[in-house]
Amino acid sequence: MKAKYFLILISLIISLFIYLFYRTDKTIVNEIVIRLISFDSYLYIKEAVVKFMPLNKLVVFSLPEGLWVFCITLTSRSYYIAIYKWHANCVYIPIIFCVGLEIFQLFHLTNGRFDFLDIGVSFVFWVMAGFVFADRSIKQNIFAGLNSKAVICFATYSIVYLAHVVK
């Protein structure tokens, strides 16, 4: 159990690192950091990091989404959503969310650029988190009672907002 949360934390830190230093400074998380340390300081640190550790485009543009899907899959797979007698396994929500976001980008309903590679990388991470790692827990209705694990699950979904590009 603790290993799962360690994997989630490491994945989110790697994604944050990539967003802070390799993506546009117009994302919400970067705007927050800029307001905390100033744009000049942020730019200086960003340039130093990029010069010290250059990354390829796959890592910069597809890995963060894949890691995020990995995190939300790990936190979602213990839950289901009950609507009357119908039960939807929450392990499928992350990949639906990922593909949905890409489709929204394709039709310019949200910021970003549609990319099949993003879907492919996310699919690999989704399979790893949802089906490769063992999950012995009994599935629970996510809305039946709010506990710390459910809060973490909802929080991992909300983190995607920090990657949103501000116009």
Q: Residue 117 CA to chain centroid, in angstroms?
A: 15
Q: Which residue has the tokens 């399979």?
A: 127
**Of residues 77, 59, 63, the one with CA closest to residue 156:** 77
Q: What percentage of the chain carries pLDDT values higher than 70? A: 98
Residue 144 has pLDDT above 70, yes or no: yes
Length of the chain: 167
Radius of gyration of the chain (CA): 17
Dihedral sign, Cα of residue 67, residue 69, residue 75, residue 78 = negative
Q: Compute the distance between CA of residue 110 and CA of residue 105 in angstroms, rounded to an integer.
A: 5
Q: Compute the distance between CA of residue 150 and CA of residue 156 in angstroms, rounded to an integer.
A: 10
Q: Which residue has the tokens 């710390």?
A: 148
Q: Compute the distance between CA of residue 18 and CA of residue 146 in angstroms, rounded to an integer.
A: 32
pTM: 0.89
Residue 1 has pLDDT above 70, yes or no: no
Q: What is the mean pLDDT of residues 5-27?
A: 94
* Confidence (pLDDT) at 167: 64
Q: Is 118 helix (H, G, I), strand (E, B) or coil?
A: helix
* Confidence (pLDDT) at 6: 92
